[in-house]
């Protein structure tokens, strides 16, 4: 009886590994990962982030500096510390065409070697608003005469981001 068991165990054929499910997974997964890797590379913007050890005091010079302060309910365009114009948040968002038109006028007044703009944000500002404001200050927004992105005029292509200063508190006397 013992010999018959051993005899049956020796006669069994080795089991074949079924890798069909694994191959199906690879056929779907590999192209998906390759495609998403290409798209993620296209969406990268170069930003200049402030170093953590830099002083809060800006350097003294006569070159005008453009800043855009984005708050949860308001957007301010500031040149060298003075507010040029404020834009209130509406139901459809900020009027980015008006912001872009103002930045185009500022670009005409600021020397061409100045290519940087600082976008200062409050912590609760939506990421989508940040991207839209960055697009509005980086290049002229398209109009009926602009067909493609390559025809758009760059305004301030070097964008730095930071924290918005606290709101000025009004004192009553």
In a domain, 80, yes or no: yes
The two three-digit tokens of residue 102, written as one number = 């103002």
Q: How many CA atoms lie within 13 A of 69 on its CB side?
A: 22
Of 152, 142, 161, 136, whose CA–CA distance to 69 is shortest?
A: 161
pLDDT at 149: 61
Number of domains in the chain: 1
Q: Is 156 part of a structural domain of the chain?
A: yes
* Any domain includes 55: no
Structural domain harbouring 126: 63-163
Task: Provide the whole-model pTM.
Answer: 0.62
CATH number for 113: 3.30.420
Task: Pick 1 or 161 by higher pLDDT.
Answer: 161
Asked if residue 54 is part of any domain, the answer here is no
pLDDT score of 140: 86
**Mind listing the pLDDT tens digit for each residue in 35-60?**
887 665 555 566 666 666 555 555 55
26 lies in a domain? Answer: no
The verdict on residue 112 lying in a domain is yes
For residue 57, tell me if it sits in a domain. no
In this structure, is residue 79 part of a structural domain? yes
């Amino acid at each position: 009886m013992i010999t018959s068991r051993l005899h049956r165990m020796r006669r069994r054929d080795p089991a074949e590994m079924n890798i069909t499910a694994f191959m199906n997974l690879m056929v779907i997964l590999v192209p998906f990962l390759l495609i998403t890797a290409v798209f993620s590379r296209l969406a990268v913007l170069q930003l200049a982030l402030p170093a953590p050890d830099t002083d809060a005091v800006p350097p003294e010079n006569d070159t005008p500096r453009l800043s855009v302060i984005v708050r949860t309910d308001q957007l301010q365009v500031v040149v060298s510390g003075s507010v040029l114009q404020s834009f209130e948040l509406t139901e459809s968002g900020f009027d980015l065409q008006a912001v872009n038109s103002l930045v185009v006028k500022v670009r005409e007044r600021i020397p061409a070697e100045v290519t940087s703009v600082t976008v200062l944000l409050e912590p609760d500002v939506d990421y989508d608003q940040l991207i839209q404001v960055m697009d509005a200050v980086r290049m002229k927004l398209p109009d009926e005469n602009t067909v493609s992105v390559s025809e758009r005029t760059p305004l301030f292509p070097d964008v730095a981001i930071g924290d918005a200063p606290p709101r000025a508190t009004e004192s009553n006397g």
